[in-house]
Amino acid sequence: MTKTITSTTKFASRGGNPAHGLALIYDLEGFSKFFNQPDVQDYVPKFLNHLSQAMSVVLLGGKAYWDSATPHKYDPLPAPIHEKFLGDGMLYVWRLKRNQLDFDPNFIGMLCNRLWNLKDGFHEVLKQAAADVPVLDLPTRIRFGVARGTIYELTRASGTNKEYIGFCINLASRLQKCCTDLGFIVSARLGLPDKMLAEYEYKRVVATKIRGFPEEIVIVDKEEYKALAEDQRTSLFREL
């Protein structure tokens, strides 16, 4: 028997447990076109499972077959406390533990590098998925946005399931949309030190057209940023 909805979701009257958090959002370019093909119910779950497995390796460790520069397995990173499917992407949330003063810069640096590597090697994920998803018009690219800031819990009034809200979640969502030709763009609020930026070949620029977040300093990959058309760079960004 199909369960019917008897009331819409209600939350406790106040957001609780404020804590410093980190939000990661990815978006799949071309997912709507892929979704609008015949027999979508047979193929979308299989494709999403391939991507879920790749993200599990990024976050929880394992063999990153798309990363030709890393011959060994990834070590596990601190696990997120929350993940949520967004229809054409996913949200992941981390929160500092009570005894933590800040996120480890090495964790943030490794997370950024792994996301960039997955973005850069996404064609290998598509190649793996093609055997199980024999249709044209698979999503062509993946884009990542990452930000940090205070997050709050929203507890459902009828139970213990939680959702999360906060500045950094909104910003992460806006970042991955602000320049569709950049597959990796993160907030400078992550606090990556200059030494890491130089080592990993990232740079800080000012994003000037993020909806709701004017003049936001962001971190981008130097070569990917350099490859943008000049008019696109000057209309969306400003050099520091």
pLDDT digits (tens, 9 = 90+) for 55-103: 999 999 999 999 987 767 899 999 999 999 988 889 999 999 888 889 9
How many structural domains are present in the chain? 1
Q: Is 176 helix (H, G, I), strand (E, B) or coil?
A: helix
Neighbours of 237 (CB within 10 A): 21
The pairing of beta strand 184-187 with beta strand 141-155: parallel
> In this structure, is residue 131 part of a structural domain?
yes
> In this structure, is residue 193 part of a structural domain?
no
CATH number of residue 42's parent domain: 3.30.70.1230
Phi, psi of 224 (to 5 degrees): -65, -40
Residue type, 80: P
What is the average pLDDT across 146-161? 83
Residue type, 225: Y
| Burial bucket for residue 13 (CB in 10 Å: 0-12, 13-18, 19+) | exposed
Distant-in-sequence, close-in-space partners of 28: CB < 8 Å, separation ≥ 6:
34, 51, 88, 89, 139, 141, 142
pTM: 0.89
> In this structure, is residue 32 part of a structural domain?
yes
Backbone conformation region of residue 81, classed left if phi is above 0, alpha if psi is from -120 to 50, else beta: alpha
Structural domain of residue 149, as residue ranges? Answer: 16-181
How far is Cα 176 from Cα 148, in angstroms, rounded to an integer? 14
pLDDT in tens, 175-203: 999 999 999 999 999 999 999 999 999 99
> In this structure, is residue 123 part of a structural domain?
yes
